[in-house]
Structure 1
Amino acid sequence: MDLTGFINVTDSGVIHFQELRGLRELIHLSLSKILIKNKTLSTICKSTFANRKLKYLDVGYTHVTDKGVRELRNISSLKPVRLNGITKKVCEDEYYDA
């Protein structure tokens, strides 16, 4: 599902992802360049589809911070996570060597 650049998609809209329990085959989710924050990643992690087959997630150029990125560690199926445009501060944790 590619929602890249849909400027009308915000945290309040993505909250409805919880209702999409039937998305058993969702593998790719692109939320790049939309007005989402940490709340969206928390919602995605709590959604049933996130823990099935979601392998690719793009949250580049959003308002996600390190708190939101930490939520992603609970989705074991994720392979690459695109974080383009997120500040260096977000990446400064025990895995980042500046």
Structure 2
Amino acid sequence: MNPQQCRSLLQCLAEGSEAEKKRAREGLQRLRVNGYIKTMLLCEAPYLNNKEVMEAVFHKLPDISLNPRDHIRWQRAVNHWKKRDPEWVSRFQ
């Protein structure tokens, strides 16, 4: 999957109809993660400010190997979400 397709899945999950969201969730579950896709999941997805997108990223995270830079990116994303919805983030920690 190329980065544009991944971005499209994330946007569909954030803004699509229920059927589109279901397809997008399934697409993200099948997603093979490379470097650019990992960066997109860690850096772009949180700022769509959508709980369904973040939940999908939280569930995809165990499949992704993170280097020290990725951990910093992820911590920034979590801090962004803590400001937005602290109770929701605490469910995943």
Which bin holds the TM-score, normalised by the shorter protein?
Answer: 0.3 to 0.5
TM-score by length of 2: 0.45
More strand as a share of residues: 1
More helix as a share of residues: 2
